[in-house]
Structure 1
Amino acid sequence: MSGTKSESSNAVVKYPWWYGGVGGIVACIITHPLDLAKVRLQTAARPKPTLFSMIQRILKNDGPLGLYSGLTASILRQCTYTTARFGCYDFIKENLLPADKLNSTLYLLPCSMISGAIGGFVGNPADVVNIRMQNDSAHEPHLRRNYKNAIDGVTRIFKEEGVRKLLTGLGPNLVRGVLMTASQVVSYDVCKHNLVTTFGFDASEKKTHFTASLVAGLVATTICSPADVIKTRIMNAHQHHESTLKVLSSSIRNEGLGFMFRGWLPSFARLGPNTILIFLVVEQLRKYEIGMHQHF
């Protein structure tokens, strides 16, 4: 991540704040079909379909292009949510943390939690549209919203339902943003540091980045699953307002505690490659110093 300390030097190198957003956009374009299947699984009625049967269902009902339903909203979400949380995380590391504490979990956790909350707030409107667009074709025709694109979705929600609707699910989204950022970026930074200092990996090699990001993806998927499922159900609801507590109690009553990890496999199938791609892209941007006109 940017703002990290060189393994051979005490100098802190500051990279552009938008690196994480670019990595997120590239990752989301590649992994969007898996994200779509995950969202559909989280809201599907019983009997619970498998990841592959859900993908087959989407292909059968909507065709190949159906696998990219809501792509514009996913990209908008990366431009807001991912860019904000990665950018804030890097900014705080660069400007507030001591240079000798950049690999300390004790310092990185609060830094990542603050960044995740900011990202969750900034990205909430795009996330509402994203969930709705990905689930739209799964509804009966008279319940479909038929947004043309992400901007149309945000505009229509604002006009038809009010600004409060764009903040639907903000609570669980903030929680998820905090959990995701803390588990993802901190796991990556700490794992990469340990691979280099303890196991002799080369900090510049892709296998180091791949291994650290794979671990980060596993940790993030497990920790974020409950908040992710609840957030998806709240944002997809057609009722005027579904509180977090109401959705939680209803889901536990009808499905048991296991519902919180519903769709874990498709979540990891999407988040694992997504996390790997984000960090691989970020590391390449760092390597070639894209967008850097001078060294800091």
Structure 2
Amino acid sequence: MSGSKKIQYPFWYGGASSMAACLVTHPLDLAKVRLQTASKPGQSLISMIYQIITKEGFFKIYSGLTASLLRQATYSTTRFGIYEFLKEEYIEYSHNPKPATGILLPISMISGALGGLVGNPSDVVNIRMQNDSTLPKEQRRNYKNAFDGIYKIIKTENVSSLFRGLYPNLVRGVLMTASQVVTYDIAKTLLVDKVHLDPSKKSTHFSASLLAGLVATTVCSPTDVVKTRIMNAKVSNENAFTILKDAIKTEGIGFMFRGWLPSFIRLGPHTIVTFLVLEQLRKYKLGM
């Protein structure tokens, strides 16, 4: 039993799981970004996806896919990897196989902040690529892929532009990891201990990840909206407080939860697929 606790799963499991989920949910993420940056609220997720397909072509629902994959490869690999590493270190140090929420939360906050920092450049490119075709032709950036986008930002702007929106992204990384990963761990433990579900069954993983997706969407919605607008802004000196103040003034406080349903429709399946794939990687010990 003690040997099973000391299994060190590869650092990249979380990133690989998130990349797999990204392939499934990218069109939903694209529609969510378009809704968050729209000048007029009111459009639904389905109508946005339909509009993209009819006006721009079917494959445009995968605009910015390379940037999304790069973002998960950087952001999610970092936050999941560091979270699992720190959690396992604590378990080994304390000999407590089920750390309390008070331990998991600070671990997740550190992991999420570092993930937000590492993933910020690819996130800037991701937001821009997804929203590019909505801009007038003369304002479009026309990045060929994620790496082309990073190169052009450094060449035509400066390196600091890759870290535009860093503060809300760090906040979002902290909130996302704390709400998503910690909620999953807690929900899974409760389902196993209190409801007596089988910890190895996919139904248990599905139920825990569904709860994690609901909590994460609600907690992260305000920072996600502000972050999206900052990264897509044409004026580089616009900060989070300016955008927040202007948006509340013109659109009301409800703007902070604009796109909650599409966010959940995207983040719910993304969270579910991520943890289902992660559990299968652990089960079959791929790459170990």
- Tell me the TM-score normalized by structure 2: 0.97
Cα deviation, residue 9, structure 1: 8.5
The one-letter code sitting in structure 2 at the alignment partner of 1:19 is Y
Q: CA RMSD in A?
A: 1.3
The reply on whether 1:60 has 2:84 as its aligned counterpart is: no
Counterpart position of 1:199 = 195
Whether 1:85 aligns to 2:112 is no
CA drift of 1:95 comes to 1.5
- Identify the residue that residue 104 of structure 1 maps to in structure 2: 100
Contact persistence 2:74–2:119 (CA under 8 A):
yes
Aligned runs of 1:263-282 on 2, under 5 Å?
263-282=259-278
Q: CA deviation at 1:57?
A: 0.9
Letter of the 2:190 partner, please give it: N
Paired amino acid for 1:22: A
Question: Which stretches of structure 1, 4 residues or longer, exceed 4 Å deviation after superposition?
Answer: none
1:28-67 Cα shifts (integer Å, max 9, x gaps): 0110000000000000121421111111110112111010
Q: Which amino acid aligns with 1:209?
A: H
How many Å separate the matches in 2 of 1:99 and 1:262?
A: 44
Question: Which residue of 27, 33, 46 corresponds with 2:27?
Answer: 33
Q: For residues 193-229 of structure 1, give each alpha carbon's deviation from its aligned partner in whole angstroms, at most 9, with x where no partner exists.
A: 0100111000000000000000000000000000000
State the alpha-carbon separation in 2 of the partners of residues 47 and 188 from structure 1.
32
Q: Check the 8 A contact 1:103/1:189 in 2, yes or no.
A: no
- What does residue 163 of structure 1 align with? 159
Please report how far the alpha carbon of residue 111 of structure 1 lies from its aligned counterpart in structure 2 after TM superposition.
0.2
Q: Which runs of 5+ in 2 are unaligned?
A: none
* TM alignment of 1:232-243, pairs within 5 A: 232-243=228-239
Paired residues in the alignment total: 286
Q: Percent identity at matched positions?
A: 61
Residues 101 and 107 in structure 1, CA contact (< 8 A), matched pair in contact too: no
- 2:110 matched residue in structure 1: 114
Q: Structure 1 residues 86 and 254, CA, compared in 2 at 3 Å: closer, same or farther?
A: same
| Partner residue, 1:130 | 126
* SS at 2:199 equivalent: coil
Render the CA deviation track for 1:86-141: whole Å, top value 9, x for unaligned. 00101111123434163411100000000000000000000000000000001111
Per-residue Cα deviation, 1:258-296 (whole angstroms, up to 9, x for no partner):
11000000000000000000000000000101111xxxx
